[in-house]
Amino acid sequence: MVYLVSGASTMDQSSDNSLTEREKQIIENRGTEPPFSGEYDNFYEPGKYVCKRCNVELYRSADKFDAHCGWPAFDREVPGSVNQTLDQDGRRIEISCANCGGHLGHVFTGERFTSTNTRHCVNSLSIKFLEIQ
């Protein structure tokens, strides 16, 4: 199975990709994009999602679902790829790339959307989709 991303032939997991100012605001400064504005909110093609900053695989399309929340939702991550820490607000759990520390969004449990009872609510600007070829 080969994954391709537009404009790239290979993915180097050790590289640090250039980010736009808006991507920096989300990934480095722990911002949040407006709901229903991200390119992956209503997107369901087969493939995988990697960290926008370092290219590490984070999520697979098979684990994506429509939570009607305005952001891409996944009910599980690739094992070992995502860290969970208490958010500065003391109420939510922040998720970040385990490789580079880039902010992804938040994880919620107990909502009963899927059998895992987990929703990773991810900013589209934090991830990059690679399609199956």
Catalytic residue positions? Answer: 121
Q: What is the CA radius of gyration of the chain?
A: 14
Q: What residues contact 87, with CB distance under 8 A and at least 6 apart? A: 93, 94, 106
Tokens of 128: 């990059």
E strand or H helix at 21 = helix 21-27
